[in-house]
Every structure is written in C-alpha cells, then in structure tokens.
Amino acid sequence: MIKALIFDFDGIIIDSESPELLAWQEVFAAYGRELDLDVWADLVGRPRNHFDLYSYFQEQIDPAADIAALRKERRARVIALTEQQPVLPGVHEYLRGACDLGLKIGMASSSSANHVRGHLQRLELFQYFHATKCFEDTEAHKPEPAPYRAVLDDLGIAADEAVAFEDSPNGVTSARAAGIFCVAVPNPVTCRLPLGHADHRLASLADEPLEQILARALAKSNS
C-alpha cells in the first residue's frame, strides 16, 4: 500500500531552476560568453556547496570580478524571477488528492530551509507537508539517498510505501537509491538531461491522475 508522496521542491513545485540558470546566463552574456550547460547540468539537484560557480566565473571569465557584489546582484535577480513563477500544473491537484486519500506528504530538497519553507509558506502550500528535509537537515545530499531516507524516517514509512517526484538526474538517483518509486517530471532546464533511470516520466503532473501513479507504484512493489 502506498502511504506517502515525497516531492522535490525546485522544478517540481515551482520552476525555480529556470530563474537560476537565466540569471547566470545573463552574467556570462554580459562578458560575451556562454555558460557551459554541461557544467550547469551537474549542479542541478545538488546542494549549493557542491561546486562554487562564483569561483568558476572568476577563474574562467573575470579574475577581477567583485564576487560579493556579483553575488548580491545575482541573488536579487533570482529572487525577483522566482517570485514570478506560479505553482506548476498538477501540484495543487496532487496535494489535495493525497490529503483526500489520507496519504502523508514529504519534501526532500537540496536547497536551504529558508528557500524551501519560505516559498511553501508564500504559496500557501506549507500546511500540506508532514515532513520537510532541506540542505541543513542531513549531512549527505543528493544524489546520495540520505534526504529521502530522512523523510521516510520522519513519516514512519518504508521505502516501498512512498512515491517520489523529481526533476533532475541527481534527484532521481537519490530517490531510487533510497528504494523509492520515482516519477521524473522535468522542467524546461532538466528536460534535456538523462532521466531514464526514473521508474516513470511525465511532462507535467497534470498529465496523469494521482490514482494512476499510485497504481503504477503499487504494481511495481508487488512485482
């Protein structure tokens, strides 16, 4: 029996991946350069301390760059762009559907608690979640399984009783390593990345009813 849904935040609840990428692309474009998308692809779904893109920019583009000023300016740009992003299609329906079915709801994110919980509260979604694990809450991060295992522990359920929703290869790897049935729902940034290791793939949560996803997960756990 499936007892819980566990969501990633960035790219699943709102498309916060596109603002992050666009803000960096604007920085590189100001110098007549392009951000290598292979570099960016490796960062998606990982915590911010995995790779210092500011140091990379200083080393590769502008050794004299004022990193503190760049960080402040770019962060403001990302926040402004992110706050314009709507809740992605199907999210409300899945959350309400999970409540109607008596399922628990968790969040497993590599982003900071301020970012994740702040946006969930702003969007009036925080009340749906029984457990939220963010960067500060685990020692290991995606693609390691630790964030998902921490959510499972908080919810008091087994891995085969949950379904995860992820948008990145690193996130899918994390969920699958924790033994959870994982649905990949790529955003405009991650749709170009390899997601074949997910159990199922949707273009949007609005494309398939929650009950059908639960049936897929249950069928696999019983196979």
Residue 38 bears catalytic tag: no
Residue 36 is among the residues annotated as catalytic for this protein: no
Report residue 206: phi and psi, to 5°: -75, -10
Sequence-ordered alpha helix ranges (H) in the chain: 17-29, 37-43, 53-60, 67-82, 91-100, 113-122, 146-155, 169-177, 210-222
Q: Kindly state the tokens that stand for 123.
A: 């969007």
Give me 189's structure tokens: 């940034």
Given a contact cutoff of 8 angstroms between Cβ atoms, the answer to whether 172 and 182 are in contact is yes
- Catalytic residue (one of 10, 15, 167, 199): 10
Distance CA 193, CA 67 (A): 29
Spot the catalytic one: 8, 15, 167, 199: 8
Give catalytic residues, as residue numbers: 8, 10
